């Protein structure tokens, strides 16, 4: 069992372990409901199906981690959620329903007008990118950038008051307020990243979407930033979608984790479940690709092969060419997300119709798998 160190005391909701995994339950308390989302990149040849049938519900104040190998569609999902995608990306199906905190009407971000989206950005929905330089204007002092955002959404705010507020916001992420007069290039990489988090929080959004926000900083700064995100989440109550390829980081940060493979969510569960009892063979491979920090050492196995070309994804289960547990029909039948134990998984091992076994209640497990052909590396782990 993994021991969390960053935020045991920061958790606000120990009830985040139930089965609201596929959006099927009541939407009460939901800030975002994503249903059947599909995004493609239009190319001269076959389109790249970078997100397919992505469905999940994000609750208020919840941190949902999204993990997967490079090219699994994480950034595509983030830009689709925030409607910041640019051609050749096209949302071809699905909805992203945002529920405002004030009880106002829900908004489908996929069909919302540019005007509606502008009104929601920063105040309801904001984004932190991998490189802070992508978010910060290199030729403007930090204070001016914060003031721009603050005054766009509150016309009554004076310039002086906006700069004072900017200094306060920088202080919340551990940066001295007098840095409002600095240009981004005068800060360290970690400070820039924290400044971009403060900017994302400037208008007290309900949802902050973060795409690999700590990848470019060292491990010490990474932990400082994560601790600050958790502290701010506790005081401000925003929900987070946090994307990374680093599953171990999410185990410390997230309430729930969605595992993406080939543009699809293949497993969704609480962070603890994903670590202790991963159901999808890909999730197990990801988990077993890094050493546990505090649990007993175990053999690292990794995942054989490489992620598929999303212009021509494999037939059936997209993971089947790499899956040591595949069995008859995996190369022809595409599994959908089904409840398995306390979470949801898209793998035919957990589909009673495919295995002839009763539904997975979380009690029975791998010992009871059906006969299977050997995987590409010869046998199951």
Ligand X SMILES: Nc1ncnc2c1ncn2[C@@H]1O[C@H](COP(=O)(O)OP(=O)(O)OP(=O)(O)O)[C@@H](O)[C@H]1O
* Cβ(169)–Cβ(87) below 8 Å: no
Looking at 142-150, 295-303, 317-325, 358-366, which segment touches ligand SF4 (CB under 6 A)?
317-325
Residue from 196, 319, 340, 344 touching ligand SF4 (CB under 6 A): that is 319
Pairing of strands 256-261, 264-270: antiparallel
Question: 41 is in the binding site of which of ligand X, ligand SF4, Mg ion, none (Cβ under 5 to 8 A by kind)?
Answer: ligand X
Spacing of C-alpha 333 from chain mean position: 27
Looking at 73-81, 121-129, 287-295, 347-355, which segment touches ligand X (CB under 6 A)?
73-81
Show the beta-strand stretches assigned E in 229-348: 239-244, 256-261, 264-270, 338-340, 343-345
Looking at 35-43, 157-165, 286-294, 320-328, which segment touches ligand SF4 (CB under 6 A)?
320-328
Looking at 20-28, 67-75, 326-334, 348-356, which segment touches ligand X (CB under 6 A)?
67-75
Task: Tell me how far CA of residue 251 lies from CA of 123, 192, 193, 222, in angstroms.
Answer: 29, 25, 21, 14
Show the beta-strand stretches assigned E in the chain: 30-41, 48-59, 63-67, 89-98, 107-108, 125-128, 207-211, 239-244, 256-261, 264-270, 338-340, 343-345
Residue from 16, 21, 30, 50 touching ligand X (CB under 6 A): that is 50
> Please, which residue, 74 or 194, has the CB nearer to Mg ion?
74
Report if residue 338 touches ligand SF4, rule: CB under 6 A: no
Residue from 55, 57, 75, 222 touching ligand X (CB under 6 A): that is 75
**Residues within window 267-286 making contact with ligand SF4, judged by CB under 6 A:** 280-281
Report if residue 52 touches ligand SF4, rule: CB under 6 A: no
d(CA 286, CA 192): 30
What is the torsional sign of CA 147, 150, 156, 161? negative
Burial of 18 (0-12, 13-18, 19+ CB in 10 A): exposed
Report if residue 75 touches Mg ion, rule: CB under 5 A: yes
Looking at 90-98, 110-118, 187-195, 323-331, which segment touches ligand SF4 (CB under 6 A)?
323-331
Residue from 68, 143, 190, 285 touching ligand X (CB under 6 A): that is 68
Cα angle 72, 111, 16; round to 5: 55
Report if residue 214 touches ligand X, rule: CB under 6 A: no
Task: Tell me how far CA of residue 296 lies from CA of 3, 250, 251, 291, in angstroms.
Answer: 11, 19, 16, 9
Shortest CB 247 distance to ligand SF4, Å: 17
Residue from 52, 166, 310, 325 touching ligand X (CB under 6 A): that is 310
Task: Tell me how far CA of residue 6 lies from CA of 1, 134, 252, in angstroms.
Answer: 16, 27, 6
**Residues within window 161-200 making contact with ligand X, judged by CB under 6 A:** none
Report if residue 72 touches ligand X, rule: CB under 6 A: yes
Report if residue 190 touches ligand SF4, rule: CB under 6 A: no
**Residues within window 243-262 making contact with ligand X, judged by CB under 6 A:** 245
d(CA 56, CA 169): 31
> Please, which residue, 68 or 375, has the CB nearer to ligand X?
68
d(CA 244, CA 215): 8
d(CA 298, CA 286): 14
* Cβ(347)–Cβ(279) below 8 Å: yes
> Please, which residue, 190 or 318, has the CB nearer to ligand SF4?
318
d(CA 272, CA 33): 23
Residue from 208, 323, 338, 340 touching ligand SF4 (CB under 6 A): that is 323
By CB under 6 A, how many residues form the interface with ligand SF4?
Answer: 13
Instruction: Return residues touching ligand SF4 (CB under 6 A).
Output: 280-281, 317, 319-320, 323, 325-326, 330, 335, 347-349
Instruction: Return residues touching ligand X (CB under 6 A).
Output: 41, 43, 48, 50, 68, 70-76, 88, 245, 310
């Amino acid at each position: 069992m993994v021991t969390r160190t960053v935020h045991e005391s920061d958790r606000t909701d120990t009830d985040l372990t139930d089965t609201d995994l596929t959006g099927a339950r009541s939407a009460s308390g939901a800030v975002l409901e994503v249903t059947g989302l599909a995004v493609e990149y239009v190319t001269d040849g076959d389109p790249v199906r970078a997100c397919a049938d992505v469905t999940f519900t994000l609750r208020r104040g919840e941190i949902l981690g999204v993990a997967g190998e490079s090219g699994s569609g994480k950034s595509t999902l983030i830009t689709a959620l925030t409607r910041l995608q640019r051609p050749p990306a096209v949302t071809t199906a699905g909805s992203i329903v945002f529920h405002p905190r004030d009880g106002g009407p829900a908004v489908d971000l996929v069909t919302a007008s540019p005007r509606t989206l502008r009104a929601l950005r920063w105040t309801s929905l904001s984004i932190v990118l991998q490189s802070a330089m992508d978010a910060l204007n290199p030729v403007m002092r930090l204070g001016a950038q914060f003031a721009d955002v603050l005054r766009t959404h509150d016309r009554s705010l004076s310039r002086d008051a906006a700069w004072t507020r900017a200094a306060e916001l920088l202080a919340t992420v551990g940066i001295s307020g007098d840095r409002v007069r600095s240009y981004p290039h005068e800060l360290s990489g970690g400070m820039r990243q924290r400044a971009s988090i403060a900017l994302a929080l400037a208008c007290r959004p309900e949802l902050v979407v973060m795409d690999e926000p700590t990848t470019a900083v060292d491990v010490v700064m990474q932990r400082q930033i994560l601790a600050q995100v958790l502290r701010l989440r506790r005081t401000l109550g925003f929900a987070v979608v946090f994307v990374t390829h680093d599953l171990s980081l999410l185990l410390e940060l997230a309430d729930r984790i969605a595992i993406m493979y080939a543009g699809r969510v293949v497993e969704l569960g609480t962070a603890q479940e994903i670590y202790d009892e991963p159901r999808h063979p890909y999730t197990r491979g990801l988990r077993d690709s890094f050493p546990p920090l505090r649990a007993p050492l175990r053999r690292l196995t990794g995942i054989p092969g490489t992620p598929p070309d999303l212009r021509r994804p494999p037939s059936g289960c997209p993971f089947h060419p790499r899956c040591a547990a595949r069995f008859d029909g995996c190369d022809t039948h595409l599994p959908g997300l089904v409840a398995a134990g306390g979470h949801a998984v898209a793998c035919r091992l957990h589909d009673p119709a495919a295995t002839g076994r009763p539904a997975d209640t979380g009690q029975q497990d791998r010992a009871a798998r059906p006969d299977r052909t050997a995987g590409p590396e010869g046998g199951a782990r």
